[in-house]
Chains A and B, each alone.
Chain A
Amino acid sequence: MRLRVKHTTQYTYSQPIKDAHTEVRLFPHSDSVQTCLDYRLATQPTANLFHYDLPSGRVHHFNIRPPHTSQVILSEAVVLTHLQNPFVRLPLVDNDLSFYTQPEVQQRYIEYLAETKRVPLSAQVAPFAEAVHSQSESGNTACFLTQLTRHLHASFDYVPGATHVHTHLEEFLELRRGVCQDFAHLFLAICRREGIPARYVSGYIYTGNKPSTEEYIYHEEGRNLVGDDATHAWAECLLPNGVWAGFDPTNNLVVNDHYIKVHDGRDYSDVTPVRGVYSGGEASVLDVRVQVTCEDRQAS
């Protein structure tokens, strides 16, 4: 699919702030399943943009020194996605979970197996893995991961605003509702406890062309896909065939060509889309708007 993302981030301050430095992780990189055709980043007030590249993605940064009361970051990308059928990449070998017990695998991917502040490997998450294992005895990794995706989707409610960026995983487990970030962190914790290397992915999801971002979220009947009111998040797991495949427990989907990946990391802290510091102690109001549209001819 040819997808266009328009992502606007606006910070408004009650009093002028100055010497603001911002890092932005919004550039969708190109790999075997997606190609970024065009990317534009602009700010208001205007600033000179700089960037550096990491294997996990490109980081833009800029600073605005004069006093200002609002900062707008406009990010626009056109991305070609190729993964029409994600299932072709999932190996169907029984008992391939033994792949993860190899010391070399455990050493090599330790960063995606270790706990982090946002992904505590507490015993509280163990029942989820047990529940999934009891449903299937094949010992097939892909099967485990797809069923885990479904299980979390069924066990938790997606409720925008139920949690915030600093919500701890334990709180999500208690509330039984949260946003895509919570689903992804829980998914990571369960996988890592099982010894499956798993990483956090930030990105976007295409949920059908809509007239505007405000109107669609709750009005659709039937199966709603959620996540395009803001940046989306899911998990990627290393499969025994060496492929990192994406699983989205928020939507109960194996990641396909409706998804645009932006950055990956150990947890949300590594991929924070916009991170900034400034002088002046004023609180900010954040407004984020994301619109993902399909530009293929056959798209309705």
Chain B
Amino acid sequence: MSLFHGYETESFYDEMFEAPGTPRPHYQKLYTRLRDMSAEDFRKRTQLADRALIQQGITFAVYGDEKGTEKPFPFDLLPRIIPAREWEFLERGLKQRLTALNLFLHDIYHDQKILNDGVVPRELVVGAVNYRPQFRYADPPGGIYVHICGSDLIRDVDGTYRVLEDNLRTPSGVSYVLENRIILTRTFPSLFRDLAVRPVDHYTTQLLANLCELAPAGREANPNVVLLTPGVYNSAYFEHSFLAQQLGIELVEGRDLFCDDNIVYMKTTRGPQRVDVIYRRVDDDFLDPLTFRSDSVLGVSGLVNAYRAGNVALANSIGTGVADDKVIYAYVPRIIEYYLGEKALIQNVDTYLASNPQDYKYILENLDKLVVKAANESGGYGMLMGPQATQQKREEFAEQIKANPRNYIAQPLISLSRAPAFVENHCEGRHIDLRPYLLFGKESITLIPGALTRVALRKGSYVVNSSQGGGSKDTWVLANEPHPLSQTMGGMSQTMGEGTMMQSLPQSTNPNPTLEQGGAQ
């Protein structure tokens, strides 16, 4: 029985099928390849992939879970494919958005022109939980606030891409993009050749190059770059250690660093070693007890002042969370127009603000139709899925909204697009989203041609967060003919053709020959 036997697209936009049995053109090759594969064969490959993931320790932690700190991140073997034309549009739209949001951050931490002109209400910015007035008038190197951006996109029932939220603080998940790709290239090697899938493994090289560029004057020659993690109890600790290893930089905790006379040092067995650039995965609040929360033990005293003085660089910068606030989100199209004089290429999802009296009334009267989100929560916490929630849950949220309207937004429930996922012995449609990663360097913005596709593995669920039963898929961005890689890699000179890409694969971490063999069959 075919994997896709009885597959229904129902009323949703399906990434793979125009109609049951009719794949979209960019999925044709994958479809042909998989059509005749037995469920048993596919399950074997899935099991091998799962085993490889566990062996590589690709895990995440769920807060509030008593059983154990870490869980493997479920991985669905069927890739999500994005054709070149769609990707080019996303690339333009995402770069536009990030450019504008960065200008917005620079403005609100300097002259606040956009607030004085009344385009964004001042109270929404200065009242935002993640606004950091302590950092006003500081100048990050190159004026860059958001070095690493991972915004979440979805496709609605028409297949239109929309930005669901921006992640401008410490977006996570890129390690899954890199690891998923390693697994899939070993599972379906020939498909990569046939489909001209663009590689993603230059992500770390580009990130490292961008981080090195931030080094203080006089320290450019051989800058010391470190990754600052909150430690093993953080949900993304796996990713921190993975990235530090891939980047070839030290993984440090706050207690490994200290500030002396406005310079940051790392404690080593050979004495203090100056630190020039910190890729920090510690939130603002915990970064420096002198400037922010004085009870924090995760940060480094004096770090913010050293940063302000230009003696060390941080990525991402401080206070970026004000621009990914879910209330400010509603203003992003206006922010883009204000700074760039252009219409937003990628649309937002329609958003109602509880702080706006008209919207407030609408939200409270339509809780059964809306998705309500707390302005400053992430990871699927602090969220109400109105249509699926119990009456009691809706009433609880109504009370919370009434108590603090500023903190809530609501959006219509978008019927997220679906893609086939392997369930037991066949494929079923599951809802997905898309998190691409952008790297903002001094010269240019790089969009990595690939992304984390998160999939809500529970039948009918719209919640894709890993902490709420979500899994991931590899995302294949297809190249136009001929391979245009050298254009997208910024200042990096390496150009990878199909052949070199395939050659590089066996060198990836923890090779598993069983999988490779399976793929060749």
**Residue positions of A touching B, CB distance < 8 A:** 19, 21, 23, 48, 50, 52-55, 61, 63, 65, 104, 107-108, 110-111, 114, 275-277
Contacts and interface: CB of A to CB of B under 8 A. Distances in A.
Q: Which label, helix, strand, loop or mixed, suits the secondary structure of the A interface?
A: strand
A108 B116 CA distance: 7
B292 to A, nearest CB: 11
Interface size class of B (residues with CB under 8 A): 20 to 34
A114 B262 contact: no
Given A61-B262, A65-B258, 12 more contacts: A19-B258, A21-B290, A21-B301, A52-B138, A52-B308, A52-B309, A54-B136, A108-B116, A108-B122, A111-B122, A111-B126, A277-B290
A50 B291 CA distance: 15
B122 A275 contact: no
Interface string B125-147: 01100000000111000000000
Given A63-B259, A111-B126, A55 B302 contact: no
A120 B493 CA distance: 58
Nearest to B116: A108
Q: 7 nearest interchain CB pairs?
A: A21-B301, A110-B123, A277-B289, A21-B302, A21-B290, A110-B122, A48-B261
Nearest to B291: A23
Contact of B290 (A50, A53, A276): A276
Nearest to B308: A52
Contacts of A23: 290-291, 305
Interface centre among A19, A21, A53, A107 (most CB of B within 10 A): A21
Given A21-B301, A63-B302, A107 B121 contact: yes
A123 to B, nearest CB: 17
A54 B305 CA distance: 13
Interface centre among A61, A104, A107, A108 (most CB of B within 10 A): A61
B65 interface: no
B352 to A, nearest CB: 21
Contact of A50 (B123, B127, B305): B305
A53 B305 CA distance: 12
A154 B354 CA distance: 42
Contacts of B294: 277
Interface in B250-273: 258-262
A257 B448 CA distance: 62
Contacts of A111: 122, 126
A54 B126 CA distance: 17
Contacts of A108: 116, 122
B118 interface: yes
Interface centre among A19, A104, A110, A114 (most CB of B within 10 A): A110
A139 to B, nearest CB: 26
Contact of A275 (B121, B136, B258, B290): B290
A63 B126 contact: no
Contacts of B309: 50, 52
Nearest to A59: B305
A108 B309 CA distance: 29
A52 B291 CA distance: 13
A2 to B, nearest CB: 31
Nearest to A48: B261
A102 to B, nearest CB: 13
B130 to A, nearest CB: 16
A61 B302 contact: yes
Nearest to A65: B260
18 contacts: A21-B290, A21-B301, A23-B290, A23-B291, A50-B309, A53-B137, A54-B136, A61-B262, A61-B302, A65-B258, A107-B121, A108-B116, A108-B122, A110-B122, A110-B126, A110-B127, A111-B126, A114-B126
Contacts of B121: 107
Nearest to A47: B261
A23 B308 CA distance: 14
Contacts of B289: 277
